Structure 1
Amino acid sequence: GIAPVGLTGLIWPGADIALAETAARCRIPYVASTVNTADVAVAGPRAGGMGWFQLYPPRDDGVRRDLLDRAQEANFGVLVVTADVPARARRERQTRERVSMPPRITPRHVSQAALRPAWTLGLLRNGLPRFHTLERYVDRATLRELAGFVGASLGGTLSWDYLAETCDMWPGPVVVKGILHPDDAARCVDTGADAVVVSNHGGRQLDAAPAAIEALGPIVERIGGRVPVLFDGGIRSGLDIARALALGADFTLSARAFMYGLCALGARGAGFVASMFEQQLTSVMHQLGCEHLSELRDRDPRMAPT
Structure 2
Amino acid sequence: MSDNIKKQEMYYWVERLGVSLTTSKPELDMLYLNELKIIDLMPEMLVMVRSVVAKETFSIRRKPITAFENGISISFQNIINSPSKIAVKNKQVLEQTQPHVRIIPLHVESDVSFPKDINIQQVTIIVSLDYLKSFIGKDHIKFDYLFNNEKTLWIEEFMSPEIAEVTNEISITKISNTLSDAYYRLKSLELLFYLFKNLSRRANVAHQHLSKYELESVYNVRDKIAASIDKPFLQEELVKLSGMNVIKLRKLFTQVFGKGMYPYYQHLRMQEAARLLREEHLSVSEVGYQLGFSNLSYFGRLFERHFGSTPKKWTQNNMNKH
Q: Shorter-chain TM-score category?
A: under 0.3
Larger-Rg structure? 2
Output the TM-score relative to the length of structure 2.
0.24
Output the TM-score relative to the length of structure 1.
0.25
Greater per-residue strand proportion: 2
